[in-house]
């Protein structure tokens, strides 16, 4: 099954969505069904832009196996895309325990931090940003990504959020990245 997931992911990277979907669906039908394969279908549908199908498959995968942190994360992303912000936040919160050890596990608390910043909730911004930093996120990543840079410069325009970011930049040795963000404004 892991080989099928890896092959489907390779096809996704190559934007060969129909082949990826056929591979996973055929394996589910002929060999075995598994929540990870249902998740894989949801991911393929997301890449195809079929968000209703994606949402359905992702919800089915986490219902079958609530420990799939990556599925909860992608469910949150799709819920955001379809305008289900409170449900997205819930999905990201459910993704936290299942993604702690993942090399990119910082994306989950970072998403929650960004949602808190958008809602001007400095306490939640602080809590989730600290968790993202603990999991490996670095402010230098923001500086290296123009879309993030613009978004985070907006956060710096709010004094409560800027204060949290300044403090955390100092604690985590990210002052240089913060200075770059401030200079580019």
What structural domains does the chain harbor? 1-88 (1.25.40.10), 100-185 (no CATH)
Span 161-179, average pLDDT? 93
* pLDDT confidence of residue 184: 63
* pLDDT confidence of residue 32: 87
Distances in Å between the alpha carbon of 2 and those of 6, 8, 130? Answer: 6, 10, 33
Q: Is 83 left (phi over 0), alpha (psi -120 to 50) or beta?
A: left
Name the pTM for this structure.
0.90
* pLDDT confidence of residue 2: 85
Share of the chain above pLDDT 70, in %: 99
* pLDDT confidence of residue 183: 82
Span 126-137, average pLDDT? 96
Distances in Å between the alpha carbon of 148 and those of 30, 85, 155? Answer: 43, 20, 11
pLDDT higher than 90, residue 1:
no
Span 99-105, average pLDDT? 91
Span 78-88, average pLDDT? 97
Residue 182: which pLDDT band, with cuts at 50, 70 and 90?
confident
Span 125-153, average pLDDT? 94
* pLDDT confidence of residue 185: 61
Residues in Cβ contact with 45 at an 8 Å cutoff, skipping those fewer than 6 apart: 21, 51, 53, 54, 57
Mean model confidence pLDDT for the chain: 94
Residue 97: which pLDDT band, with cuts at 50, 70 and 90?
very high
Span 69-92, average pLDDT? 97
Tell me how far apart the alpha carbons of residues 115 and 109 are, in angstroms, rounded to a whole number: 10
Query: What's the DSSP call for residue 102?
Result: S
């Amino acid at each position: 099954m892991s080989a099928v997931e890896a092959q489907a992911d390779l096809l996704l990277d190559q934007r060969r969505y129909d082949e990826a979907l056929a591979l996973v669906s055929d394996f589910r039908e002929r060999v075995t069904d598994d929540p990870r394969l249902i998740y894989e279908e949801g991911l393929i549908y997301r890449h195809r832009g079929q968000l209703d199908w994606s949402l359905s498959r992702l919800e089915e995968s986490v219902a079958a196996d609530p420990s799939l942190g990556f599925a909860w994360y992608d469910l949150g992303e799709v819920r955001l895309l379809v305008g289900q912000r409170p449900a997205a936040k819930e999905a990201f919160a459910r993704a936290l325990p299942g993604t702690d050890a993942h090399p990119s596990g910082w994306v989950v608390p970072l998403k929650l931090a960004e949602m808190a910043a958008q809602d001007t909730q400095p306490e939640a911004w602080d809590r989730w940003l600290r968790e993202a930093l603990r999991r490996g996120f670095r402010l230098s990543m923001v500086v290296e990504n123009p879309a993030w840079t613009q978004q985070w410069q907006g956060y710096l325009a709010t004094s409560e959020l800027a204060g949290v970011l300044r403090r955390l930049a100092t604690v985590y040795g990210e002052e240089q990245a913060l200075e770059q963000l401030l200079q580019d404004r």
